[in-house]
A and B are shown apart, each in its own frame.
Chain A
Amino acid sequence: MSAGIREQTDTRSPRDWASLTPVLGLVAILIIALFLAPSFFQPANLGNLSRQAAILAIVAAGQTLVLLVRGIDLSVGAVMTLSMVIVARVSEGNDDQLVGAIGAALLLGLIVGVLNAVLVVGRRVPPFVATLATAVLIVGFQTAWTQGVPGGGIPSALAELGSSRVLGIPAPTYIALIVIGIVAIILKFTILGRWLYSAGGNPEAARMSGVPVAWVTAGAYIACSLLAVFAGLLLGGYAGYVDAYLGVGYDLDSIAAAVIGGTSFAGGAGGVGRSLLGAVVIASALNMIVLTGADEWLQLVVKGAIILVAVAVQTTRWSRPRRGG
């Protein structure tokens, strides 16, 4: 009997089939690209695409952790920008100051993460409001500090890291895969992962089961901010310059990537691997539209449409009749 139970554990439930939707979406984009923008498939473009997707995927990984505990983090874009501003200012473009500068940026991430956690877990402020407020605070602080014009420069070592290629593939792509791999392993094989999914799946039941729900939730916000710092560094390194708008849009895009991948707003379901896929879908769609030479408004329309389809797929899945109400 025991063998019988183990064998059946791998049975695919209908829900898993729905998780193939982003793959189908990606295939559709590739087919459209084949007709409308053949240059999409040139190695140089695919490299750029993978770097764009990589940076987004790192932010989305953090966002996924927060979504898993029924939260949302609207401050990641602001954190990305400010980390870059800090690195540029602290290092003044010197490689020998880089370690200290990165340390300062990570400290920022820690502070923001703790602030979000205190607001959401300690003060029970709705995550949407709390992290939006944090984001506005960060932008305000940054503007006051830099007078709107960030100074300093990107150290060449960081610029090198952001733009170099190994075996024709951009370095950030490797880095993203490693980071996401580590987060995925933590989610799947450690107690932290189990706690995270249970705290999101049913916080009350998790607490009664002895799960430290408050700490786990706080940890998700802190990890999310730190991952945003990390993505900000790669973005700045690749851009090679710093301005006040580098991270704009990454908050919503990271949420979109997670949702397209199949992570649920209701918490407790999803994963960073899926969000990686979601990031690739978004990056591919946007890249293709740019290549066709279409206007910017079309990018937004397409992005919106992708998110709507993703949410529609998710809600259809949720409303499947369940036994026992």
Chain B
Amino acid sequence: MTEEGVVDPLLRVRGVSKAFSGVPALTNVDLDLYGGRVHALLGQNGAGKSTLISIISGVLQPDAGTLEIEGRGVHFRDPSEALASGIVAVYQELSLLSDMTVAENLYLGIEPRKNGLLDRKAMAEGAREILSRLGAGGISPLATVGDLTIASQQMIEVGKALTREAKVLILDEPSAVLGDDELELLYALVGRLTEAGISVVYITHRLDEVMEIADEATVMRDGSVVLALPRGELTHDVMIEAMVGRSVERNTPPKWQSADHAHEEDGHGGLVVSNLMLPGMNETGVNFSLRPGEILGVAGLTGSGRSRLLRALAGVDPPISGSVTWGGGPISIRSPRAAIANGVVLVPEDRKRQGLILGQSVESNIVLSVLGRIATVGWLRSSNVGAIAQDMVLRLQIKTANLGQKVQFLSGGNQQKVVIARCLTLSPRLLLLDEPLRGVDVGAKAEIVDIVGEIASRGTSVIVVSSEIEDVLALTDRIMVMRDGIVAAEFRGAEATEARIFHASAVQGK
């Protein structure tokens, strides 16, 4: 560090704070980024990484603190000003126009011109040069971007940063969308960028990647920097401890506690999933079993296959192969309708897009799934429909002016309760919950946790996926960790601690 110590950082962040409607998201954050080095930025969801990145790239303005580029103070009012200073962020959702060519994308908005007309020749030549700098000489500048693999598209996105002469390049979880074989390409790409003197900020949850390519790492937690270390001092344990931060002891016992050796019973009358191959994942398959009334928590990083598992079981994206049985007999999950007929129902990840019909009433949404069971030759009696909705509103304490209220006007927590209510009208054997507590206020969170506990106590098996390990731990002490489409680890009882779960999710190898 001593020799670099004399070099001024490319970007210096000092004392940056930011609050959203009074709730602090960042508190007094410092960060130094040096040219030619890879700086890993780590932290759990909600640690403040996104807010910090948004401030650096001009999307948000800090409440306090300063930003300096090469010793010169800067104030970005919008992303274009940050861009002009050489700061480029590449997000997971790529911003490419898939119907245009590679060259057109690379020069979008800064097209070279000759005599007022587009200079296609200069554009193609420039693109070719940039592609070779990226080590992607195999990609034709004239190829249509939509035809390229995700990995190649990511390279084009990084290439866009080069045409804009980026000094600081922020990569937001670049590996989440890539397969293992494509990771090497990404590492090589990052290497080329740093050789060119660019400062790379690398955001990831995968600790192996940090060990692989980072020159230094900053760990954030609850809006503050809790750890900043050079490469030599980085270890898995140090990073996990800093990220998790809490003691391994629980504050409150979970809603459900796993019985010892329950998994060893065969033919226990519940769910058995064998060799389930999930679409889009090229791994060996998922195996687990679940007894009636049991709650299984599923942890894992984005892209680990946890949501795909639920979508497969619910028939939304049916599995490629494998078997699913209940009480020893196979059940069909080839469509949501078939899964529902077999007592399997999903509370989807994105309630507004997948769970609710926003323009319809609370009543219509609650009874939607159960209509087929209560109709007489297709005919619905409104008193019957109203009574079912009314029961659910009372049972789940859904706060709504009346049953005719459109769900779009409910709070996030109450919307989530409406989705859960819709599933409960079916009296399911297996309830799948994908991120049930996301975007839900603290009070409603506790209520939903109680509701799920109550459902399980009545004999319904529950699988909960959540990226907040804490939330899963409040529900159950049986946790399955997924990674790359397989079950990477399972923890029961006192073994299930946040640090262990996090380690299993984020670190490769058994």
Contact = CB atoms under 8 A, between A and B. Distances in A.
Interface string A185-203: 0000111101101100110
Contacts of A168: none
A42 interface: no
B403 interface: yes
Interface stretch (B160-168, B320-328, B367-375): B367-375
B401 interface: yes
Interface in A185-230: 189-192, 194-195, 197-198, 201-202, 204-212
A191 B380 contact: yes
Q: Determine the interface band of chain A, counting residues with CB < 8 A from chain B.
A: 20 to 34
A202 B358 contact: yes
Contact of A201 (B336, B346, B357, B372): B357
Contacts of B422: 209
A269 interface: yes
A202 B356 contact: yes
Give the most central of B314, B371, B404, B409: most A CB within 10 Å. Answer: B371
B371 A191 contact: yes
B368 A190 contact: no
A210 B403 contact: no
A198 B393 CA distance: 20
B346 A205 contact: no
Contacts of A198: 357, 360, 364, 368
Interface string A66-110: 000000000000000000000000000000000000000000000
A127 interface: no
B409 A6 contact: no
Given A190-B375, A201-B360, A324-B408, A210 B336 contact: yes
Contacts of B379: 189-191
A190 B371 CA distance: 9
A209 B341 CA distance: 11
B402 interface: yes
A268 B359 contact: yes
Contact of B346 (A8, A191, A208): A208
Interface string B417-457: 00000100000000000000000000000000000000000
Contacts of B35: none
Contacts of A189: 379-380, 382
Give the most central of A189, A209, A211, A322: most B CB within 10 Å. Answer: A209
Given A204-B354, A209-B336, A210-B340, A323 B364 contact: no
18 contacts: A2-B390, A5-B403, A9-B403, A11-B401, A189-B382, A190-B379, A191-B371, A191-B372, A194-B371, A197-B364, A202-B358, A208-B355, A209-B368, A210-B341, A212-B337, A268-B357, A269-B359, A322-B409
Interface of B: 314, 316, 336-337, 340-341, 345-346, 348, 353-360, 364, 367-369, 371-372, 375, 378-380, 382, 386, 390, 393-394, 401-404, 406, 408-409, 411-412, 422
Given A198-B357, A205-B348, 19 more contacts: A1-B394, A5-B402, A6-B402, A9-B403, A9-B404, A11-B402, A189-B380, A190-B375, A190-B379, A194-B367, A194-B380, A197-B357, A201-B360, A206-B357, A209-B369, A210-B368, A210-B369, A323-B409, A324-B408
Q: Which 10 A-B pairs give the minimum distances between C-beta atoms? A: A8-B402, A201-B357, A210-B340, A9-B404, A191-B375, A202-B357, A209-B369, A209-B368, A210-B337, A191-B371
